[in-house]
Amino acid sequence: MMKSFEKVGAAGKEAIDNGLKSATAMMKGLQAVAAESTDYSKAAMESGSAALEKLFAAKSLDKAIEVQTTWAKSAWEAHVAEMTKVGELYADLARTR
């Protein structure tokens, strides 16, 4: 009968250990997503500020449209790239659970 209790205790310990490993992996994955999102937000703000400065410095409407078009294109490309990265991070997170 003692062996039964030992087996149950060992199974419980194993379940807790696996749960802790899973939670740790999940937290690391979420931290990676948060860090990536923070970096992207900072870069997007800097890019937007630089574009706004260029826009205010534009001497003609054509130049202002060029600045806006260039910024919009690069912002869209950066956004798509970021969403791809974040999607990959979430996919990695799902695989580790």
pLDDT at 82: 96
What's the pTM?
Answer: 0.74
- What mean pLDDT comes out for the span 78-88? 96
Which one is predicted more confidently, 59 or 14?
A: 59
Q: CA-CA distance, 24 to 47, in Å (whole number)?
A: 35
Give residue-wise pLDDT tens across range 56-70.
999 999 999 999 999
Give the end-to-end CA distance of the chain in Å, rounded to a whole number. 35
Predicted confidence band at 39 (pLDDT cuts at 50, 70, 90)? very high
Point out the least confidently predicted range of 22-31, 37-46, 52-61.
22-31
Question: Is the model's pLDDT at 6 over the cut of 80?
Answer: no
pLDDT surpassing 90 at residue 91? yes
Q: Identify which of 90, 95, 85 has the alpha carbon closest to the alpha carbon of residue 29.
A: 90
